[in-house]
Chains A and B, each alone.
Chain A
Amino acid sequence: MNKVYVTAIVKDVPAEEYGRYLSPMKARRMGKLQKRALVTALKAMEISGIGEPDAILNGTAMGCMENTVQMLNGLSAEGEEVNMPTCFMQSTHNTVASQIAIFTGNHGYNTTYAHRTISFELALQDAFLRLRAGLARTALVCANDELTELQVQQPDFFGQLEVQDRSEAWMLSIEPGDHPIYELENVKIIHDKGAEDRAIIQKISL
């Protein structure tokens, strides 16, 4: 069984740095979350020196809410005459992981977990097991969520699930590289009826 290392962790790349990774032309067509998610992923690839990970995984509690709410507003205002193709196709939860793959031309394993507060940990577990078993050597594991104006104004509009407005990207590798951050030992998932699901990332700081 392979050992699994975390070789880069990047959080919320500030807008001033976007230009380093993304031309204004390409950025213009993207929503706020898409841009932040993509540059955060690209920076993790840059720092780790792994530009073509074998797998790209994302965890998102609620998915692409900006587009989802826009589409709901459209349906509510215009009824079923609504015609919002771009908004719809970018409302699906796997928009971000697909976009990273399309942008970097990556044909590897690609998946997205949307399971409340432990979405990222489920993506991390999948990647960890894949690397440990030798099905992949490297994996980019991301966490991405956005808060819409509607959710800021009315935090419980969609229920009690708390969403963090964030983009985070971890690079996993079976090689420690020059600056490993953690060695991952396992990820444990706990579901207990009536309570919020929990996850424990078992890791050793290096």
Chain B
Amino acid sequence: MRPKVVITGMGVVSALGVGVKANGIALMQGISGIREARYLPTEHREFPVGEVQLSSEELRQMLELPDGRLYSRTHLFGAAALREALSMTNLLEHKGLALISGTTVGGMDVTESLFPNPLPKGQPDVHDCGASTNDIADSCGDFDYTSTVSTACSSAMNALIMGKLLIENGERDIVVAGGSEALSKFHLNGFKSLMILDRERCRPFDKTRSGLNLGEGAAFLVLESEESALKRGAQILGVLSGAGNACDAHHQTASSDNGEGACRAMTQALSNAGLLSANIDYVNAHGTGTPNNDASESAALKRVFGAQLPPVSSTKSYTGHTTSASGSIEAAFCLMALWNGFIPVQPEFENPDEQCIIPVSGSEALSVDLHHVMCNAFGFGGNDSSIILSRYE
């Protein structure tokens, strides 16, 4: 029997605030963090974003990191989320931890602010994805294994999937996994070029949806073998019970009409967890708000769940699409939902679309007893991932 992978800590930073509590309250009260850009030095104020409401300097001071070097926001968000996750489960002094972080933007916010000038001499590496992960790992705790997954918008979820594999194989007892991503002009203008940014607050699965809002943030989950958690006497928040990843193999950025990759990822996650679709009490959809993603994901959801579709919602209308970090931020939301017994609703949803599922809407979260929750994250290249989080019982 493979060891059970439990979750003993989490840390979250998003447009909803810094910390699990601030994020949980906003989700339960139905308060979105999407607004006009304030910290990203972009001209494109017409596209609302889900920004972390702190400047880099404010974050640096909050984290008491030394002055005199360049910090990417990816590094700072990650450091804040990691610190919360480790302190929650008393691992700040623990030796020999592993960190797997998902990112694609890495230190691009710093690079683009310098370009066409190079990184100044004497500065530590900031640009590459691995540099941001190592900076996060070296900001608190003691890590002897670090790794970076970069599969665009499914990066953080694939980091969780790798963490699960390391624990199940007995390679590690504790793996901190998730992702971090800062907004950059680079990808804001990239998504603008693809014409998939909405000028209004995004409306996933709504007939009037016309694109996504970009967001930023970080989340890390402490994954641990059940044996290790019990031995430490750690509080167990939930179980990472299933994982699936499949390639849509259709197009570099567009999803297939029938949601082949997404369907395979969800089906794998179910069989990996030893569950049936009827066991799932809530799905946190990828639901970006682009016409293509939401129609394709809906097709896949209908194929997996048939007529018994559980409640579905996308929390991107709260945080924006936090790209590489979305998989772990939304996994953390699922864990909060399981723990506190609620389903986040979509406050902006009004107009059903015959091509789409109908998400749970309303003004504040539904109070529901949850046992198994599914969370989806899909990336460019048709990189589709799905995980299942379960109550520990």
A102-B381, A107-B260 known; A93 and B251 CB under 8 Å? no
B145 touches A (CB below 8 Å): yes
By beta carbon, the residue of chain A nearest B44 is A80
B264 touches A (CB below 8 Å): yes
Shortest distance from the beta carbon of B174 to any chain A beta carbon, whole Å? 14
Q: Are B144 and A190 in contact (CB under 8 A)?
A: yes
Tally of B interface residues using CB under 8 Å: 70
Q: Are B247 and A72 in contact (CB under 8 A)?
A: no
Q: Are A107 and B261 in contact (CB under 8 A)?
A: yes
Q: Are B190 and A71 in contact (CB under 8 A)?
A: yes
Provide the bound-state CA to CA distance between A189 and B171, in Å.
11
B130 touches A (CB below 8 Å): yes
Contacts of A101 in B (CB 8 A): 247, 249, 381-382
Task: Please tell me which stretch of A5-13, A18-26, A83-91, A170-178 contacts chain B, meaning at least 4 of its Cβ atoms lie within 8 angstroms of it.
Answer: A83-91
Q: Are B144 and A192 in contact (CB under 8 A)?
A: yes
B273 touches A (CB below 8 Å): no
B279 touches A (CB below 8 Å): no
Interface of chain A residues 96 through 134 with chain B (CB within 8 A) = 97-99, 101-102, 104-116, 119, 122, 126, 129-130, 132-133
Contacts of B130 in A (CB 8 A): 61, 114-116, 119, 161, 197
CB-contact partner of A109 in B191, B245, B252, under 8 A: B245
Provide the bound-state CA to CA distance between A60 and B128, in Å.
10
By beta carbon, the residue of chain A nearest B195 is A85
Shortest distance from the beta carbon of A78 to any chain B beta carbon, whole Å? 10
Q: Are B145 and A189 in contact (CB under 8 A)?
A: yes
CB-contact partner of A114 in B124, B126, B150, B194, under 8 A: B150
By beta carbon, the residue of chain A nearest B42 is A80
A72-B115, A80-B44, A94-B380 known; A89 and B247 CB under 8 Å? no
B339 touches A (CB below 8 Å): no
Q: Are A110 and B194 in contact (CB under 8 A)?
A: no
B322 touches A (CB below 8 Å): no
The A-B contact count (CB < 8 A) is 208
Q: Are A107 and B249 in contact (CB under 8 A)?
A: yes
Task: Please tell me which stretch of B8-16, B75-83, B162-170, B225-233 contacts chain A, meaning at least 4 of its Cβ atoms lie within 8 angstroms of it.
Answer: B162-170
Task: Please tell me which stretch of B59-67, B133-141, B199-207, B305-313 contacts chain A, meaning at least 4 of its Cβ atoms lie within 8 angstroms of it.
Answer: B133-141
Provide the bound-state CA to CA distance between A147 and B261, in Å.
32
Q: Are B147 and A115 in contact (CB under 8 A)?
A: yes
Shortest distance from the beta carbon of B225 to any chain A beta carbon, whole Å? 15
Q: Are B381 and A159 in contact (CB under 8 A)?
A: no
Q: Are B147 and A113 in contact (CB under 8 A)?
A: yes
Shortest distance from the beta carbon of A37 to any chain B beta carbon, whole Å? 13
B363 touches A (CB below 8 Å): no
Tally of A interface residues using CB under 8 Å: 64
Q: Are B138 and A159 in contact (CB under 8 A)?
A: no
Contacts of B195 in A (CB 8 A): 85
A89-B380, A159-B127 known; A75 and B169 CB under 8 Å? no
Contacts of A73 in B (CB 8 A): 116
Q: Are B150 and A158 in contact (CB under 8 A)?
A: no
Contacts of A193 in B (CB 8 A): 137-138, 143
Provide the bound-state CA to CA distance between A34 and B127, in Å.
22
B391 touches A (CB below 8 Å): no
Provide the bound-state CA to CA distance between A174 and B130, in Å.
30
Contacts of B166 in A (CB 8 A): 129
Q: Are B128 and A161 in contact (CB under 8 A)?
A: yes
Provide the bound-state CA to CA distance between A104 and B250, in Å.
10
A92 touches B (CB below 8 Å): yes
Provide the bound-state CA to CA distance between A95 and B150, in Å.
10
B288 touches A (CB below 8 Å): no
A160 touches B (CB below 8 Å): yes
Q: Are A92 and B152 in contact (CB under 8 A)?
A: yes
Q: Are A132 and B169 in contact (CB under 8 A)?
A: yes
Interface of chain B residues 73 through 117 with chain A (CB within 8 A) = 104, 106, 111-112, 115-116
B residues apposed to A, CB below 8 Å: 2, 42-44, 104, 106, 111-112, 115-116, 118-119, 121, 123-131, 133-134, 137-138, 143-152, 158, 162, 165-166, 168-169, 171, 185-187, 189-195, 245-253, 260-261, 264, 379-383
A-B contacts besides A101-B247, A102-B381, A191-B134, 14 pairs, CB < 8 Å: A72-B111, A73-B116, A79-B43, A80-B43, A85-B194, A90-B252, A92-B150, A93-B104, A94-B151, A101-B382, A111-B149, A116-B128, A159-B119, A159-B123
18 A-B residue pairs with CB within 8 Å: A56-B247, A80-B189, A84-B193, A85-B194, A85-B195, A94-B381, A98-B247, A98-B382, A106-B249, A107-B264, A111-B245, A112-B149, A158-B125, A158-B128, A161-B131, A189-B145, A190-B144, A193-B138
